[in-house]
């Protein structure tokens, strides 16, 4: 028998092809999607207290029998329908606007239930109707109770959604298999069927929240089981080419660096190196704040792989970031004889195919690229290490495709977006975790201020003083060229304006449309100090390390997210010199104001991550729609973080007893995971 996740919603009574198309726009394609389409809020439509105690302005629900109906027209042309309704305690009035068809329905003797705001006028009670029910509510779901309000569209009125969900519950709830272990149910959690009934049509608001928590725990429990199964699957593999202990090439690379590793970097490197020497493939997340030095640790891993006769691949989410990594790593690795290649979608066709052939022959030791690396035509000679940057921008499946281009290669994923540890364990529970939790010694906190555009002349005078002392500055704009649609600073225009203001200094322009050779030339001139002032877009968000840069000016800063602002600020303060980040923004939205205030007050990336999560919510913070994180239908990672440890603990406890999910409950859970989380089907099927 098909499960709720396999039954198309179209065949539920009352849906049909047209409604199925409308439901699909809400992400509802199966009966399971419908049952787990939870209310965004509730309205208390239990029948109100005595009429005479109703307060002006409050929202109430009342039922009455139509006595009279009259239609009138306001001066503005608004059509007003006013019905007198008999109530056991007297008469009250219900008012509708621009719904003249009701004069044909509201006949004397018809019973009506109305919900709306109370107005007390000259001793009369009037309810301005927001929702209503003609006759008796046969299903008992639209009035006289706590009523669910769902995310919806114009084509799907609330009453329609309520009716469809009520019907789906009636037909399916009793047969839904239980997913939580029995001991949790004995602790007082609702059964699955009870939870779905109470979350949609609750007897009390407290029961609604209790039901939602049970469904959150269920979803997080399944996610942790899936991650555990993936971890078990990966751990069972044997890699054919375990690395030897660090040899001369690794030592040569370390000796070539103009700095020594911090204790935190050394600790992370020891963990990674130990994994690479293990007969089991590495699966590790490297996390650290901006400027903590993750890239050099990843470069060490790539050098170790090459020293052992293997190839390394570094995949970045954007062409700009891949090019930045290439520009930074190419000179470091080529210096010790490692051949580095770049493979992105914007390479010319002939060059792209030459690179693909060189990778397949093994002529390129380390290839840096984008999603292009996982395309079918790309193959490796002997892929031993996969490094994935900005892991939250990729999915489990994309990571898997690249890993399968080698024979059980080591996998190192990095994120410069600090994620609270609990969330990291939840989202990346299939990975071991290394954290670089300190910055190189001597770094001073970057002073951050927020100014209005009118204060820019004073800022420019300050930058002139900094540049005269041998320091450098970034000017970051949200746009490359001026736009008719967006009122925002354009980099190309600003570069011309600054040439007039700073005639004594060379000014560079860097953006994503420049050819790679031109980007390389501009960055080399900036690193050498030939270019003192660099006007750019967010292409410098990552991977740019210029110790002499002490000032970062960000125009229209309200257009950037907190994580991006933090990355940009991380381009300065990379020496022992005092450094400054200046945000330029005017007339910002309340949300942008909260973001900018938080940014000026907080320096620590993890604290900023928590604040970003609070302001924007987890969907925006993690870019869930763009990333491969499993789409959570119920859980809110910010609101429900207290349930994360319990879900993880219960999942690992279950897997200890039933590692292959082969028990009767295990088989049910395996099927549920495969149907709810497409990214994990390969590991639980």
Predicted confidence at residue 339, as pLDDT, reads 96
As a whole number of angstroms, the distance between CA 15 and CA 31 comes to: 11
What pLDDT sits at residue 278? Answer: 94
Provide the pLDDT for residue 317: 82
Q: What is the pLDDT of residues 385-421, one digit of tens each?
A: 999 987 556 666 777 888 889 999 999 988 766 666 5
Higher pLDDT, 489 or 263: 263
Report which of residues 55 and 165 the model is more confident about.
165
- Answer yes or no: is pLDDT of 103 > 50: yes
98: left (phi over 0), alpha (psi -120 to 50) or beta: left
- The rounded distance, in Å, linking the Cα atoms of 111 and 85 is 8
Q: Quick one: what percent of the chain has pLDDT higher than 90?
A: 53
Predicted pLDDT at 564:
81
Task: Identify which of 25, 265, 281 has the alpha carbon closest to the alpha carbon of residue 155.
Answer: 25
Task: Give yes or no for a contact between 365 and 311, defined as CB atoms under 8 angstroms apart.
Answer: yes
> Residues with Cβ < 8 Å from 535, sequence gap 6 or more?
475, 477, 491, 494, 495, 498, 507, 508, 509, 510
pLDDT at 421: 59
| Residue 648: how many other CB atoms lie within 10 Å | 21
Instruction: Quote the CA–CA distance of 223 and 648 in Å, as a whole number.
Output: 9
CA distances to 440, 451, 602 from 445, in Å: 12, 19, 10
DSSP label at residue 475: E
| Beta-sheet pairing, 111-121 with 124-134 | antiparallel
Confidence class for position 427, pLDDT limits 50, 70, 90? low
pLDDT reported for residue 180: 95
Q: Where in the sequence of the chain do the CATH 3.40.50.300 domains occur?
A: 248-436, 447-602
Query: If DSSP codes are grouped into helix, strand and coil, which group holds residue 652?
Result: helix
CA 384 to chain centre: 30
Q: Which fold has domain 46-144?
A: OB fold (Dihydrolipoamide Acetyltransferase, E2P) (2.40.50)
Q: Residues spanned by CATH 2.40.50.140 within the chain?
A: 46-144
Give the chain's length: 685
Are the C-beta atoms of 269 and 397 separated by less than 8 Å? Answer: no
Residue 440 has a pLDDT of 74
Q: In the prediction, which pLDDT does 436 show?
A: 85
β-strand pairing of 41-44 with 79-87: unpaired
Distance between CA 282 and CA 295 in Å, rounded?
17
Segment among 69-83, 265-279, 433-447, 621-635 with least mean pLDDT:
621-635
Query: What tens digit of pLDDT does each residue of 437-465 get?
Result: 777 776 778 999 999 999 999 999 999 99
CATH of 447-602, picked from 3.40.80.10, 3.30.70.100, 3.40.50.300, 3.50.50.60, is 3.40.50.300
Q: What's this model's pTM, rounded to 2 decimal places?
A: 0.69
Beta bridge partners of 61: 115
| Average pLDDT, rounded, for the chain | 87
Question: How do residues 285-338 score in pLDDT, each as one tens digit?
Answer: 898 877 778 889 999 999 999 999 999 999 988 787 888 789 889 999 999 999
DSSP structure class, residue 52: G
Note the pLDDT tens digit of each residue in 25-50.
999 999 999 999 999 999 988 887 78
CA dihedral of 368, 374, 375, 380, whole degrees rounded to 10: 70
534 vs 495: CA distance, rounded Å: 8
Q: Please tell us whether the domain made up of 1-42+157-176 is placed in CATH 1.10.150.
A: yes
Q: Residues of 422-433 as b/e, b for ≥16 C-beta within 10 angstroms?
A: ebbbbbbbbbee
Helix, strand, or coil here: 39? Answer: coil
The highest-level CATH class for domain 248-436 is alpha beta
Helix (H, G, I), strand (E, B) or coil at 301: helix
Q: If you average pLDDT over residues 643-650, what whole number do you get?
A: 89
pLDDT in tens, 113-144: 999 999 998 888 999 998 888 887 666 788 88
Range(s) within the chain of domains with CATH label 1.10.150: 1-42+157-176
Q: Which 3 state secondary structure label does DSSP give 164? A: helix
């Amino acid at each position: 028998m098909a499960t709720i996740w396999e039954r198309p919603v179209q065949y539920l009574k009352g849906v049909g092809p047209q409604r199925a198309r409308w439901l699909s726009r809400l992400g509802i394609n199966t009966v399971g999607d419908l049952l787990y389409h939870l209310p965004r809020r509730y309205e208390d439509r239990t029948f109100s207290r005595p009429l005479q105690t109703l307060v002006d302005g409050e929202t109430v629900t009342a039922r009455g029998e139509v006595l009279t109906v009259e239609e009138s027209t306001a001066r503005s042309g608004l059509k007003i329908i006013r019905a007198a309704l008999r109530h056991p305690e007297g008469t009250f009035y219900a008012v509708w606007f621009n719904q003249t068809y009701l004069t044909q329905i509201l006949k004397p003797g018809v019973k009506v239930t109305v919900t709306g705001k109370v107005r007390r006028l000259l001793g009369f009670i009037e309810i301005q109707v927001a929702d209503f029910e003609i006759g008796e509510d046969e299903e008992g779901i639209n009035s006289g109770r706590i009523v669910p309000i769902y995310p919806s569209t114009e084509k799907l009125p609330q009453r329609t959604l309520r009716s469809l969900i009520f019907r789906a519950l009636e037909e399916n709830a009793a047969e839904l298999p239980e997913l939580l272990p029995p001991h949790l149910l004995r602790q007082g959690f609702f059964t699955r069927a009870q939870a779905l009934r109470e979350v949609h049509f609750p007897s009390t608001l407290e029961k609604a929240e209790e039901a939602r928590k049970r469904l959150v725990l269920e979803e997080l429990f399944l996610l942790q089981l899936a991650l555990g199964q993936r971890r078990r699957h990966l751990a069972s593999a044997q890699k054919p080419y375990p690395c030897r202990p660090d040899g001369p090439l690794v030592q040569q690379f370390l000796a070539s660096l103009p700095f020594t590793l911090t204790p935190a970097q050394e600790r992370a490197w020891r963990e990674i190196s130990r994994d690479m020497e293990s007969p089991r493939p590495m699966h590790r997340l490297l996390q650290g704040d901006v400027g903590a030095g993750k890239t050099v640790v990843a470069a060490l891993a790539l050098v170790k792989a090459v020293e052992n006769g293997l190839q390394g691949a570094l995949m970045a989410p954007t062409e700009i970031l891949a090019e930045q990594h290439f520009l930074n790593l190419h000179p470091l690795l080529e210096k010790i004889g490692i051949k580095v290649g770049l493979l992105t979608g914007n390479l010319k066709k002939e060059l792209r195919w030459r690179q693909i052939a060189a990778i397949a022959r093994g002529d390129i030791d380390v290839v840096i690229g984008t999603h292009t690396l996982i395309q079918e035509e790309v193959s490796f000679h002997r892929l031993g290490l996969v490094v994935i940057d900005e892991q939250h921008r990729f999915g489990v499946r994309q990571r898997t495709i690249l890993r399968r281009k080698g024979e059980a290669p080591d996998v190192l994923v990095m994120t410069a977006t600090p994620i609270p540890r609990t969330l990291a364990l939840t989202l990346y529970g299939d990975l071991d975790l290394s954290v670089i939790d300190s910055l190189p010694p001597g770094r001073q906190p970057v002073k951050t201020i927020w100014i209005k555009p009118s204060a820019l002349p004073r800022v420019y005078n300050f930058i002139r003083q900094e540049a005269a002392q041998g320091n450098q500055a970034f000017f970051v704009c949200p746009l490359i060229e001026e736009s008719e649609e967006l009122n925002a600073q354009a980099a190309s225009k600003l570069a011309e304006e600054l040439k007039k203001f700073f005639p004594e200094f060379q000014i560079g322009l860097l953006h994503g449309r420049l050819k790679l050779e031109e980007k390389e030339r501009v960055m080399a001139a900036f690193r050498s100090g030939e270019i003192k002032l660099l006007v750019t877009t967010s292409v410098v968000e990552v991977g740019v390390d210029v110790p002499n840069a002490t000032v970062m000016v960000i125009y229209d800063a309200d257009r950037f997210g907190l994580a991006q602002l933090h990355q940009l600020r991380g381009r300065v303060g990379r020496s022992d010199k005092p450094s400054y980040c200046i945000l330029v923004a005017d007339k910002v939205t309340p949300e942008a104001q909260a973001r900018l205030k938080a940014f000026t007050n907080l320096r620590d990336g993890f604290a900023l991550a928590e604040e970003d999560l609070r302001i924007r919510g987890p969907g925006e913070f993690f870019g869930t729609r763009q990333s491969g994180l499993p789409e959570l239908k119920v859980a809110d990672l910010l609101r429900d973080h207290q349930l994360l440890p319990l879900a993880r603990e219960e999942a690992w406890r279950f897997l200890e007893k039933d590692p292959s999910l082969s028990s009767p409950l295990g088989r049910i859970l395996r099927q549920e995971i495969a149907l709810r989380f497409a990214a994990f089907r390969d590991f639980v099927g």
